Amino acid sequence: MAARFAHAAARNWRLKVIALLVACGMWVGVVYARNPPAIATVQVPVQTLGLASDLVLLPTIPGGSAGGTIAVKVAGVRSNVRSPNVASELSAYADLSSIKGPGRYSVPVHVIKTDSNVELWSVPTHASLLVDKLVTASLPVHVQVASGQLPPTGYSWSSSKTTVSPATVTVRAPSSVITQLEPVVTISLAQARSSVQVTEDVSLLHQGGLGAHITFSPSVVTVNAVITSQTSERTVVVYVVTSGQPASGFQVVGIQSSPLTVIVTGASGTITSLSSIDTQAVNLNGLTKTTSYQLPLVLPSGVTASTATVTVVVDIAPVSIATPTPSPSPTP
């Protein structure tokens, strides 16, 4: 029986092998038609080891990672190489223990793959890194007033007399950026009519995207802001403004304001030029009797007065008609 089976199996064996190969090829063709082989490029972050504590890696592009990334090509069927998880199965590291100072370096990179469904097709052997040295400097704190928060009209902020305590902060940063850094404290003086003392946080301007590598102390300072008054005051006469005429047969015999004078306050240049303050105009048209008014004062911009309104009395009387004097009789 065994001999007959072996004889049957050996009969036309070449055709049977060809048929098997064709069948396998068709099966592979059907499988790969739906999920063909593919190659994909994956950006893998480079982890760095052994860098000295007084050195720091800088991004090679603004906003980039300090260690940078390398482009690794992986091969496999399309569903595997294009899987969103493929990047998490790859890692790269570089040993920087031999770097002793700042500069640009090309260092060996090692790539590790943990996904058995893909193969490393093309792997960079080196990565370009930019290394800088961390340095320490004492930088002066500058004071600025927030936009729209200057003192009220008639008062000014003296930046030259304003002091900060402490006056400097100690900054540790990469040497390439430390000369550009500017410690700033921002204050609001919108309600300040006299010198004020405030405690505010310090901000560090012009960090160039390297904030993760920059530290400074202290982070809070006290500002003594000097406010100077630019106002003055003086006593001026109230001038009553009129328009129109009383009714026919009547006349104005007097106009009296109460108070007669007011104290005005404002910018020195404006106040020194004032000798009187007008009232809103009184309309005299058609008046037949004495009338009292409450009139607002017309004040220049930025000027205030000891009172906003005054009482004005307009005295009206009939026009006097003179009695004719009789002519003397002629002497006979």
* All structural domains of the chain with their residue ranges: 34-132, 141-229, 233-318
173 burial level (CB within 10 Å; 0-12, 13-18, 19+): buried
pLDDT tens track for 168-177: 999 999 999 9
68 burial level (CB within 10 Å; 0-12, 13-18, 19+): buried
Compute the distance between CA of residue 163 and CA of residue 229 in angstroms, rounded to an integer: 18
User: Roughly how many angstroms between the first and final C-alpha of the chain, as a whole number?
Assistant: 198
Give the HSE-up count for residue 292: Cα atoms under 13 Å, Cβ half-sphere. 4
CATH 3.40.225.10 holds for 233-318: no
Residue 64: per-residue pLDDT = 58
Compute the distance between CA of residue 189 and CA of residue 175 in angstroms, rounded to an integer: 36
Residue 195: per-residue pLDDT = 93
Q: What is the DSSP letter of 181?
A: -
Residue 31: per-residue pLDDT = 47
Q: Do 233-318 and 34-132 fall under one CATH topology?
A: yes
Compute the distance between CA of residue 282 and CA of residue 285 in angstroms, rounded to an integer: 9
**pLDDT over 70, % of the chain:** 85
- What is the edge-to-edge ordering of all strands in the sheet holding 155-165? 155-165, 220-229, 196-201
pLDDT tens track for 70-79: 889 989 888 8
**What CATH class is the domain 34-132?**
mainly beta
The H or E element spanning position 93 is strand 90-95
Compute the distance between CA of residue 277 and CA of residue 303 in angstroms, rounded to an integer: 11
Taking the domain 141-229, which CATH number applies? Answer: 2.170.120
pLDDT, averaged across the chain: 86
Mean pLDDT for the stretch of residues 183-208: 94
β-pairing, 168-174 vs 126-140, is antiparallel
β-pairing, 291-296 vs 276-278, is unpaired
- With 70 as the cut, is the pLDDT of residue 29 above it? no
β-pairing, 215-217 vs 142-145, is unpaired
Match 């009139």 to its residue by tokens: 295
Compute the distance between CA of residue 242 and CA of residue 42 in angstroms, rounded to an integer: 88
Q: What is the DSSP letter of 150?
A: P
